[in-house]
Amino acid sequence: MFAPLQNDSFLRACRRQATSHTPVWLMRQAGRYLPEYCATRAKAGSFMGLATNTDFATEVTLQPLERYPLDAAILFSDILTVPDAMGLGLSFAQGEGPKFAHPLRDETAVKKLQVPDMAKLDYVFKAVTSIRKALNGKVPLIGFSGSPWTLACYMVEGAGSDDYRLVKTMMYQRPDLMHHILATNADSVAAYLNAQIEAGAQAVMIFDSWGGVLADAAFKEFSLAYTQRVLAQLKTHHDGVDIPRLVFTKGGALWLDQMANLDCQVLGLDWTANLAKARALVGGSVGGPGKALQGNIDPNVLFAGPEQIANEVRKTLDSFGTPHTDATQTGPTHIFNLGHGISQYTPPEHVAVLVETVHQHSKFLRQNSPSA
């Protein structure tokens, strides 16, 4: 059904297999910093018009790959499609973030919550298949979802928040209600990601964008446990190929020791993490178990000049160090990415410098490694 994969560097790095260069892709790589994205969005009329139309979603997913030699594509969609399918009424006001018409504010609303009929999310699965076909084997396609906790934040707050007062009030006051939301979210996200896998996603990523706002003990109980509940239900293989699982917790570097136990292959890190320390902690050794690491340059680096961007990219690669080069075994690997989504104000030509430097310098590291 799909063309054979030509560039498998991303999937190999996910599996902790050696690669000739460090693969790179960027969170939110199909986005407003690209004029061609803005043009398609104008045609679509709105963000959800873009996300729900198979042709438009395919078009914008492929746009960054036409500009830059990125090593992976990621489904163009929103993390809030699942609660929308649950009936919360997602909308995007002009120039503002997402909003829910029916946030979860009381016991009645919470108790009504159910795993949605996946047919309501068919537009997402159709987009996955369409994008996978359009990629024609160029690079692998990553599917994704928000984490149960991150979805719950939006579902209770009704929108973005700077203090998470409403969702945390429910969490501390009525932990039973919060656990009900999170369990429902986890089972919904698992069904959603499995359907993306069936539709053609070659890896799946869980974005715990708001895990980092939780207190130390609460993170484990209300975020990590439910991310694991999703992971435990995911298909590990499809069509005879393994499907790597990536987990990104913004602000999660502090809890890397706990995340090491997640049933996933890759841990994503934001820019506050030290990649050398993270590698030592969870990256494992050649022949031993461990997690591949993804990240973690500050997206604001892209506002500096080309020389400075190249410098910072090299520092990030050097911080991880040379990934292992043993073709016969698994070992520590690095997938280059930003520490969070790319800013809409990023000059597109700066992204070219980043991608090129990742490829060049990561080859240089391998060629000059003592074990190479």
Chain positions contacting a second copy, by CB under 8 A: 162-165, 168-169, 172-173, 212, 214-219, 251, 253-254, 271-274, 296-298, 300-301, 303-305, 308, 312, 315, 319, 339, 343, 345
Check if 154 is active-site: yes
**Is there a catalytic annotation at residue 174?**
no
Torsion of CA 24, 30, 33, 34, to 10 degrees: 100
Residue 178 or 246 with smaller CB distance to a second copy: 178
The active-site residue, picked from 32, 105, 174, 314, is 32
Question: In the numeric block, which tokens belong to residue 208?
Answer: 């715990």
Closer to a second copy at the Cβ: 76 or 219? Answer: 219
Question: Cβ of residue 274: shortest distance to a second copy, in angstroms?
Answer: 4
Helices (H), 99-255: 107-112, 122-135, 148-157, 165-173, 175-199, 216-218, 225-233
At closest approach, how far in Å is the CB of 138 from a second copy?
Answer: 31
Catalytic residue among 16, 33, 37, 41: 41
User: Catalytic annotation on 67?
Assistant: no
Point out the catalytic residue in the list 28, 132, 245, 366: 28
Residues paired with residue 249 on neighbouring β-strands, in sequence order: 208
Beta carbon nearer to a second copy, 31 or 251: 251
Active site residue 68: no
Neighbouring C-beta atoms of residue 182, cutoff 10 Å = 24
Distance CA 226, CA 164 (A): 19
CB of 261 to a second copy, least distance (A): 16
Element (H, E) at 205: strand 203-208
Per the residue annotation, which of 78, 84, 208, 270 is the catalytic one?
Answer: 78
The C-alpha angle 2, 331, 253, rounded to 5 degrees, equals: 95
- To the nearest whole angstrom, how small is the minimum distance from the Cβ of residue 263 to a second copy? 23
Rounded Cα distance between 69 and 271, Å, is 23
Nearest partner of 52 among 163, 143, 127, judged by Cα: 127
Q: Which is nearer to a second copy, 243 or 256 (CB)?
A: 256
Min dist CB 236 to a second copy, Å, is: 32
* Residue closer to a second copy, measured from CB, 118 or 166: 166
Would residue 105 show up in a list of annotated catalytic residues for this protein? no
In whole angstroms, what is the distance from residue 9 CA to residue 13 CA? 6
Catalytic, out of 33, 37, 68, 154: 154
The catalytic residue positions are 28, 32, 41, 78, 154
